[in-house]
Structure 1
Amino acid sequence: MKEQIRDFIKEEDGVGVIEIVLILVVLIGLVIIFKTNIKKLLDGIFEEINKQSKEVY
């Protein structure tokens, strides 16, 4: 029984979940901070795609 408790305490599966959650929080924070810059970049990309697609037709 004591060995099972020690093995449970030493198990590190939960650490991976915490790391993933922290990474997601940081990424979401960066998206919120740079939202306007990301929107400008994507608008420019899609505008260029529209221009070039009109040239193909």
Structure 2
Amino acid sequence: MTKTFLKSLVRDEAGATAIEYGLIAALIAVAAITAMQGLGNQLTNTFTTVSTTMAV
């Protein structure tokens, strides 16, 4: 009975698929955070430039 359980456990790929989807989601999240940080820096620079220009 234990032998068949181990064989079925080795053949079951649902857990591996879930892990792969989790890794893909994590990679997308890291890419999104990186892109948003870059965009945030650009917005800060733009607002600083506008504020400085309007103050003069």
Q: TM-score range by the shorter chain?
A: 0.5 to 0.7
Larger Rg: 2
TM-score by length of 2: 0.57
In structure 2, the residue corresponding to 1:34 is in which secondary structure?
helix
Q: Provide the rounded CA distance (Å) in 2 between the counterparts of 1:8 and 1:15.
A: 11
Q: Provide the rounded CA distance (Å) in 1 between the counterparts of 2:35 and 2:7.
A: 45
Question: What is the letter of the counterpart of residue 6 of structure 1?
Answer: K
Moved over 2 A (4+): none
C-alpha RMSD of matched pairs (Å): 1.8
TM-score by length of 1: 0.56
Q: CA deviation at 1:3?
A: 1.7
Structure 2, unaligned stretches of length 5 or more?
A: 44-56
Q: CA deviation at 1:7?
A: 1.1
Q: CA deviation at 1:5?
A: 2.2
Which residue does the alignment assign to 2:33?
A: 32
More deviation, 17-26/7-16 = 7-16
For residues 1-51 of structure 1, give each alpha carbon's deviation from its aligned partner in whole angstroms, at most 9, with x where no partner exists.
1223211222111011001100110000011110017xx7xxxxxxxxxxx
Which residue does the alignment assign to 1:10?
A: 11
Which residue does the alignment assign to 1:22?
A: 23
